[in-house]
Structure 1
């Protein structure tokens, strides 16, 4: 995918998620997400932060977090989540069309972030949220090749991942196959959420990973794994 295509996916996902958040009940906003310790509201807050974050803000927040990047991601989301729901929705919607990346973030990170966090809220709420296939394929490849914070190749050593709905595979060993959306959840550390949609002899050796930490896609979660 080229940059224009990736930005279009990000815009579409942000607009769609803003609509989803706007439609949720109080109980749904307070529902746990796939990110450990985060509610749906916390995920909404996290998604609205990146498009407006500059280097100066990051440096200040790092000092507040005593140098812990994971702690910073968690703290900023929780603090932002205290704001009215209408403001969180409006800020996410206003981010559509923005071409700003958070400091240190790649465009591929931003696309993967919004795709995965969409599932972090949709799956626990029982909502069907299909991923655009080519964007999911590109994000899975990016996450597989990336080291920190997901370390997918290390975590999934001895397995061959193969998509059943697009042309994508990686790794070597026992096969784990399934839709590319499920494989993206797997490589980003959301094993328990991915496993019901996966098949093949490699599934037997997979164990549900710990829930993704706060922030897991574009930011890094507490413990250095998957927010």
Structure 2
């Protein structure tokens, strides 16, 4: 039953993405004012790192390097309020290292912890995925290898409850191939793009419009560059 649902989801997703491609190509960018950036030359001062079983997370020479044996969440300390567009480039590393598994390019965004809604970092977390159930947030999971799904979830701040919005069997990560990610938070419009392809396009009747962003992965090795967040202006401006 699960296999059939995933296969159907993949076919439906392919048709939807194909239909959206011409519109996406012709859309004019609305983002203007820069809200935040990190070129990763000055360490982790803008980030908070939560690790399940240790590992290495460094920011130097233009690259955020994440090389971890288990769960890792790297939060941007500044909170963002929409509408905005967030972009970065992430490359899954496959060079024979112990963590070079090529899997799990994930993100939280517009995240708020219901236990400390005014301060995400007031509640300690240790990097295991279940510890994030108390967030209200969007969560994308872009998979490969043992993780053969690409998913979008909308967390509601309850333990064990992580509603699934999309469940695809493609697209998946390719070893050593850069992924230019774009996340759009524009009122009810929630989008996640990769290399110019609209992967998730969700209209939320009760949108999360502000909160924190994080990179999330588990047992993986990534190199991340060119992190930017820009304000979205109203259409026609």
TM-score, structure 2 length as denominator?
0.25
Say which structure is richer in helix: 1
TM-score after normalising by structure 1: 0.25
Higher strand proportion = 2
Higher RCO (Cα < 8 Å, 6 or more apart) = 2
